[in-house]
Amino acid sequence: MSQAKIITIMGVKDGVGTSTFAYQLALALKKTGKNVLLLDGDAAHQGDLQLVSKTQIVWRNLDDLQKVPRPVTPSFLYGFLRGPEGIPSLQLATDRFQLKSKNPKDCLKALSEIVPFFDWVVADTGSHWNPYSAQLLNKADLLLFALNPHVTLIKEAKRKLEELTISYFPLKKVGWLALKWDFDSFLSIASVEELLKISCFGTTATESLLKLQKADWAVEGMQAFLPDLLYSVVDEKNNKSFLSNPSPNLNDRNEIKELKIQLLKEIQERMESKGIKEEEGVRSKVSKIILEVFNDKSDLIPSEIDRSYLLEELLDELLGLGPLEKLLGNENSGEILVNGTNTIYIEEKGQLQKTPFQFLSRDSLQKTIERILLPTGRRIDESSPMVDARLQCGSRINMIIPPLALDGPIISIRRFSKKIFNPQDLVGLGSLSSEMVQFLETSVASKLNILVAGGTGSGKTTLLNVLSSFIPEDQRIITIEDAAELSLNQPHVVRLESRPPNIEGKGAVTIRDLVRNALRMRPDRIVVGECRGAEALDMLQAMNTGHDGSLTTLHANSPRDALTRLETLVMFAGMELPSKAIREQIVSAIDLIVQVARLDGGCRKIVSIMKLEGMEQETFTLQNLFVYENGTFKKEAL
């Protein structure tokens, strides 16, 4: 809807003449030589506008429009929608009952296809707030209230104006029309303007019009205030009608970015003058300032922009994490990857997708980084350009900045699903078979030590959580993680989390420290979220000294790679053990290796379950128990 200017007419209550005036206005605009679309957008009274126009022509509706072959030409459209006095006219539906079955946003989408063929759209929205009128108002360049200037109606008008303010509609784009019936009890126009704080564009005699077959005299009378009405949708900067100066293309992210930067500058100046700081607890105050700027700078904001959405985005910039706020609120995204200012990717259902979101500037991205780190007590700067942290929501985050990151700050956020998957969920997703579930449940109950191996994002932690759920409730479980991801429902669970060093480089508590400490806490089971360092030796020793039934994960692409890597990690402990001794410990400790993988298309599968049988000439011997091949799970041997 980038070319036509949209005027919506709303009545303060039913029966004040809203439909009649909308028809008059469309006729008056047509006499100026412009192409006009008359739209019946009154959800509660579909068809009233057709009755007022006193035409025998049956109006078209959106369903009729959908059946028209594409592409649609202007000449065909003007003839197809031809209504009273030759004005193209359209209803949303044949009646309000049919309209209820339509999605308001779908209606707007259908309208957006034809509106660019017109110079003006006059929409009668009736007198009731509803999802359909809200969609039209959101795109309107001007809203006119039709009311009789009586004291009882002024109260209702003020209430509707308050609702408009709550909906972030700029009051600079609101006016009213006195549908005067010559009653002595009516207030003067000046009095109403003072009460409502919005301008009156003129008066019209709708009651007399209803008694006439022709509306020519009423239309001619309207010419007196039509220039003022049209002037209200004029670009003050260029002194041109928006008709010849269409709004910026909202598909151009640079246009939106520039708009936000302009508005933010004005908002921040007003916040500074009022002594309001960018911190939590001031959201309502900042919202009021943003609404003030929306009203004062309404000429900058194209009607295509959803003002409520824009308000939320500005609040996110001022008080939150910018575009990351909406991405963090999306429960379907698993990873959020920021590559500098202009590029943000998310992972959904195992697939990386580029998003349209961008940071406004390098400063905006830097402020977001500072807000993320503030609650963690961590810092990042040129002297320490990398950091790992955990958000309050539990997500893991890694950041790296210049000079190490050549194209600007890089943020990687690993999110964890709030949904706790059970074995049946994984079977339903095709990640493993029911027979594999039964085998793993028996293995955990039998206190076998299990190593889950896989690549990044392959589902190791999810599977570890499912395996942990098989542990009997009467056992004491100690979980040890870098960032708390596991969620166990058993009553006797002790959760431990490692701690990075502070700003001075002191106070670090490693996974290895926690594993050693856990051995003194009378554990029945030890579950380590991931072995990635010297803690591998302590984990093996725990498994070999009476703590059977322990579980852990490891990054590796195959079961044999997992054992080789485990051997390498043990060497990190600095004990200088010979390879043979390390391998003998591994053989004694590990019973099963469950290999998981993320396949093409993003699906995650258990691709093999192997039993570590022993060693043969210093080589690990493995036996396949289950394997995933050619799209099916197969049982090899038990």
pLDDT digit string (tens) for 17-38? 778 888 888 888 888 788 888 8
**Gap between the Cα atoms of 416 and 396, Å rounded:** 9
Long-range contacts of 266-271 (CB under 8 A, 24+ apart): 266/293, 266/296, 266/297, 267/293, 267/314, 267/318, 268/318, 271/318
The pairing of strands 142-147 and 5-11 is: parallel
Class of domain 423-635: alpha beta
Q: Flag whether the pTM goes above 0.85.
A: no
Residue 218 has a pLDDT of 40
| Range from 44-53, 375-384, 499-508 carrying the lowest mean pLDDT | 44-53
**Gap between the Cα atoms of 586 and 454, Å rounded:** 18
* 324-414 and 423-635: identical CATH topology: no
Residue 271 has a pLDDT of 83
Higher pLDDT, 199 or 310: 310
Residue 168 has a pLDDT of 57
| Range from 179-183, 207-211, 622-626 carrying the lowest mean pLDDT | 207-211
Tell me the CB-side half-sphere exposure of residue 387, using CA atoms within 13 A: 27
Q: What percent of the chain has pLDDT over 90?
A: 23
**Gap between the Cα atoms of 38 and 215, Å rounded:** 16
Residue 231 has a pLDDT of 45
Residue 240 has a pLDDT of 34
**Gap between the Cα atoms of 49 and 38, Å rounded:** 9
Is the pLDDT at 147 greater than 90? The verdict is no
Tell me the CB-side half-sphere exposure of residue 37, using CA atoms within 13 A: 33
**Gap between the Cα atoms of 7 and 34, Å rounded:** 14
Most confident of 129-138, 139-148, 520-529: 520-529
| pLDDT mean across residues, the chain | 79
Class of domain 5-241: alpha beta
**Gap between the Cα atoms of 463 and 438, Å rounded:** 14
Residue 250 has a pLDDT of 40
Compute the C-alpha angle 538/544/545, nearest 5°: 90
DSSP β-bridge partners for residue 345: 337, 354
Residue type, 549: G
| Range from 49-63, 82-96, 418-432, 621-635 carrying the lowest mean pLDDT | 49-63
What is the pLDDT averaged over residues 422-436?
91
Structure-block tokens of residue 323: 């575009």
Residue pair 487/593 in contact by the 8 Å Cβ criterion: no
Helices (H), 402-457: 423-428, 434-445
Higher pLDDT, 148 or 636: 636
Residue type, 297: K
Most confident of 164-168, 282-286, 613-617, 621-625: 621-625
What is the pLDDT averaged over residues 517-524?
91
CATH placement of domain 324-414: 3.30.450.370
Higher pLDDT, 52 or 541: 541
502 pLDDT tier (thresholds 50, 70, 90) = confident
Is the pLDDT at 469 greater than 60? The verdict is yes
100-113 pLDDT, tens digit per residue, is 777 777 777 788 88
Handedness of CA 289, 247, 308, 146 (dihedral sign): positive
Residue pair 583/620 in contact by the 8 Å Cβ criterion: yes
Residue 204 has a pLDDT of 56
433 pLDDT tier (thresholds 50, 70, 90) = very high
Is the pLDDT at 193 greater than 90? The verdict is no
Residue 205 has a pLDDT of 47
Residue 22 has a pLDDT of 84
Q: Which residues contact 118 (CB under 8 A, 6 or more apart)?
A: 3, 4, 35, 36, 37, 88
DSSP β-bridge partners for residue 206: none
409 pLDDT tier (thresholds 50, 70, 90) = very high
597-617 pLDDT, tens digit per residue, is 988 777 889 999 999 998 888
Let me know if 467 is exposed, middle or buried by CB neighbors in 10 A (0-12, 13-18, 19+). buried
| Range from 178-187, 340-349, 539-548 carrying the lowest mean pLDDT | 178-187
547-589 pLDDT, tens digit per residue, is 899 999 999 999 999 999 999 999 988 888 888 899 999 999 9
Q: Which residues contact 41 (CB under 8 A, 6 or more apart)?
A: 8, 92, 123, 124, 125, 126, 132, 133, 136
360-402 pLDDT, tens digit per residue, is 889 899 989 988 888 877 888 888 899 888 777 778 889 999 9
Residue pair 84/20 in contact by the 8 Å Cβ criterion: no
3-state secondary structure of 37: strand
170 pLDDT tier (thresholds 50, 70, 90) = low
Task: For residue 369, give the H/E element and its range.
Answer: helix 362-373
Residue 3 has a pLDDT of 59
Is the pLDDT at 67 greater than 80? The verdict is yes
Handedness of CA 470, 529, 330, 311 (dihedral sign): positive
| Range from 1-15, 394-408, 519-533 carrying the lowest mean pLDDT | 1-15
466 pLDDT tier (thresholds 50, 70, 90) = very high
303 pLDDT tier (thresholds 50, 70, 90) = low
Is the pLDDT at 75 greater than 50? The verdict is yes
Residue 12 has a pLDDT of 73
Residue pair 90/37 in contact by the 8 Å Cβ criterion: yes
Residue ranges covered by each domain of the chain: 5-241, 253-319, 324-414, 423-635
**Gap between the Cα atoms of 530 and 538, Å rounded:** 13
Tell me the CB-side half-sphere exposure of residue 288, using CA atoms within 13 A: 6
3-state secondary structure of 132: helix
Is the pLDDT at 217 greater than 50? The verdict is no
Q: Is 411 left (phi over 0), alpha (psi -120 to 50) or beta?
A: beta
200 pLDDT tier (thresholds 50, 70, 90) = low
Higher pLDDT, 74 or 596: 596
